[in-house]
Amino acid sequence: DAGVIQSPRHEVTEMGQEVTLRCKPISGHNSLFWYRQTMMRGLELLIYFNNNVPIDDSGMPEDRFSAKMPNASFSTLKIQPSEPRDSAVYFCASTVVTRQGNEKLFFGSGTQLSVL
């Protein structure tokens, strides 16, 4: 199993540019989460999808942020226009429901975003 795959691993861009982060969840997982991690605020949930449908986007900081999940194997998080305060590590995660009916969250390797 390849795990949750994110790209790019690192992104350096200038303020005002559009940034697109990509995620491929683990095959068979039906929920996908986007988190942002900073030293000051820790891990923050931005949005999550269940069966490709956005369920809770209350964590999306502003209209500059948008996320899509066009199919079960792909999701994007877009920031347009980007600002220096968006600099953080962005994690994608997906969940599987165990035989006991419990849910476990698995993370991708993250995208380190630096907005200059």
Interatomic CA distance for residues 112 and 28, integer angstroms: 26
Q: Is 33 in the site for other proteins (CB under 8 A)?
A: yes
Please, which residue, 43 or 116, has the CB nearer to other proteins? Answer: 43
Q: How far is the CB of 40 from other proteins (least distance, A)?
A: 9
Q: For residue 73, what are its two tokens?
A: 């194997």
In the list 15, 80, 84, 97, the residue contacting other proteins (rule: CB under 8 A) is: 97
Please, which residue, 16 or 113, has the CB nearer to other proteins? Answer: 113
Q: Is 110 in the site for other proteins (CB under 8 A)?
A: yes
Residues 53-82 that bind other proteins (CB under 8 A): 55-56
Please, which residue, 10 or 83, has the CB nearer to other proteins? Answer: 10
Q: Is 12 in the site for other proteins (CB under 8 A)?
A: no
Give the DSSP per-residue string, the chain. ----EEE-SEEEE-TT--EEEEEEPPTT--EEEEEEEETTTEEEEEEEEETTEEEE-TT--STTEEEEEEETTEEEEEESS--GGG-EEEEEEEEEE-TTS-EEEEE---EEEEE-
List residues near other proteins by CB under 8 A. Answer: 31, 33, 42-43, 45, 48, 50, 55-56, 91, 97, 101-110
